[in-house]
Amino acid sequence: MAQVLEFKLPDLGEGLTEAEIVRWLVEVGDVVAVDQPVVEVETAKAMVDVPCPYGGVVTARFGAEGTELPVGAPLLTVAVGEPADGRPAGEASPAESAESEGARGGTPAAGGSGNVLVGYGTAEAPARRRRVRPAETTPATPAVPTAPSAPSTPVANGQLRTEQPTAAQARTRGAVDGPVPVISPLVRRLARQNGLDLREMTGSGPEGLILRADVEYALRAAAAQGRPGTTAGEPRTRTDRAGAGAPAPAAGTSGVTRVPLKGIRGAVADKLSRSRTEIPDATCWVDADATELMRTRAAMQHSSGGNPRTPTAGGPKISVIALLARICTAALARFPELNSSVDTEAREIVRYGDVHLGFAAQTDRGLVVPVVRDAHTRNAESLTAEFARLTEAARTGTLTPAELTGGTFTLNNYGVFGVDGSTPIINHPEAAMLGVGRIVPRPWVHEGELAVRQVVQLSLTFDHRVCDGGTAGGFLRYVADCVEQPAVLLRTL
């Protein structure tokens, strides 16, 4: 016998609580295999293809493209197994077709994969299950439910509930954590469009099943009492979120556009606001002569790791940010106070032995900070390759949540935007960020004479709770010394 299983939006990890449906990869009626991607969602960190842990026929989808769903909200339902009458799973009989397209069930089959995303397992399945019964033969015209025998009282969200429910209604209403007793997706859509919370309704169908007539009856009752149907439990669209709690525009203004703070933009806003609120930061900066660093890089470009006297053009290219990252890891080894974070609840400074180096990357979707794991163990070639891989993944939106979290220090190369200096905001909960401006020819006093040199401005923003200005200044001065004289690194290699 076919079993209809409900697949909910899984926990995508790293504290993510919601995701936006970008594109459905399956239609109702499609046959899906175990672990087949069924929907593409956008979280605050990345684009993710969500695979379904069940194999069968898709019977319903919940949420249109552009809808934001919380973790645990239903995504779709899948009919698994073979019905007793021999029809393929998900194919409804004529008596069932009117109400059973979007059937939702309870207990996942034991054959489910459990691996919704790589690195993040699915939660245990709910214990209860509801069988989809064939609809009873009724007249073609939907019957309007009779008035309840007990007096009805309105609840806060505009629904009507009887004060003396029947035993079946009490059982249905008590299962708050179970599936909503609705089969038809048309009923769900009608309730969602009008802001009705189906969990607060009592159906007139078998075992408390909510029918379309019940929803229409509740809408008429709410309209008669002048109450808008608005709930907090249903997912909201962009338009709903943009207008909620918004101040009225000033008189005489025109052409006002509201852009929701969501996705990556919303995550950046939240993190930077938290950083400014919690971290007492300070910034120091210094100009450095990067001429020797650029010459060293040029020499590396002509060497493939073999004999430097026989330069080759086919060797791996070394990026400037990789050299700066190598300098950063050396500086953090000398000043470990900056490779840390603050545990405000325990009132402790947490220092990290490993350096997981984040770097700011601007993409079409917004600013992201991929993390190079164990940067302190990598050489210039390895760092160059990893920076290139993560940058490409950031541009294509294929970074995983694990590649966007866990950093202990951030390198921000804002010089690629053609600017010289900045006061960067610390990437919470880290304790410091090194900013690098553009490298440009400038007049510079070199060996007692005025010369044109390649000059760069370096800035360090640090959490004043983890160290004082002497430590921050020492770190920045060491970085500048390595930029001006790369041979300084040889003392610690």
For residue 211, give every residue at least 6 positions away whose Cβ sits within 8 Å of its Cβ, in sequence order, or none.
142, 145, 184, 187, 203, 204, 205
Describe the strand order of the beta sheet including 36-42 as a list of residue ranges.
47-52, 36-42, 18-24, 68-70
Closest CA to 117 of 215, 205, 210, 37: 37
Ramachandran angles phi, psi of 449, nearest 5°: -130, 150
The strand pairing partners of 451, in sequence order, are: 444
Q: What pLDDT is stored for residue 290 in this prediction?
A: 96
Among residues 343, 354, 374, 468, the one annotated as catalytic is 468
Rounded Cα–Cα distance for residues 484 and 275 (Å):
32
Is 464 tagged catalytic?
yes
Rounded Cα–Cα distance for residues 232 and 249 (Å):
25
Q: Could you tell me if 394 and 359 are in contact, meaning their C-beta atoms sit under 8 angstroms apart?
A: no
CA dihedral 286, 406, 464, 470 (to 10 degrees): -50
Rounded Cα–Cα distance for residues 241 and 244 (Å):
5
493 residues of the chain, pLDDT tens digit each: 678 899 988 876 655 677 888 889 999 989 999 888 999 888 766 778 888 888 899 999 998 888 888 888 899 999 887 654 545 444 444 444 434 444 344 444 444 544 444 333 444 443 434 444 444 444 334 444 444 444 444 443 334 444 444 444 444 444 444 566 765 666 777 787 788 888 788 887 777 778 877 888 888 777 776 655 444 334 444 444 444 455 555 555 678 888 888 777 787 888 889 999 999 999 999 999 999 999 999 988 877 555 555 555 556 789 999 999 999 999 999 999 999 999 999 999 999 999 999 998 888 877 889 999 999 999 999 999 999 999 999 888 888 888 988 999 999 999 988 999 888 899 999 999 999 999 999 999 999 999 999 999 999 999 999 999 999 999 999 999 999 999 888 766 6
Among residues 302, 343, 354, 464, the one annotated as catalytic is 464
The amino acid at residue 70 is: P
Is 468 tagged catalytic?
yes
Closest CA to 30 of 72, 59, 65: 59
What is this structure's pTM? Answer: 0.56
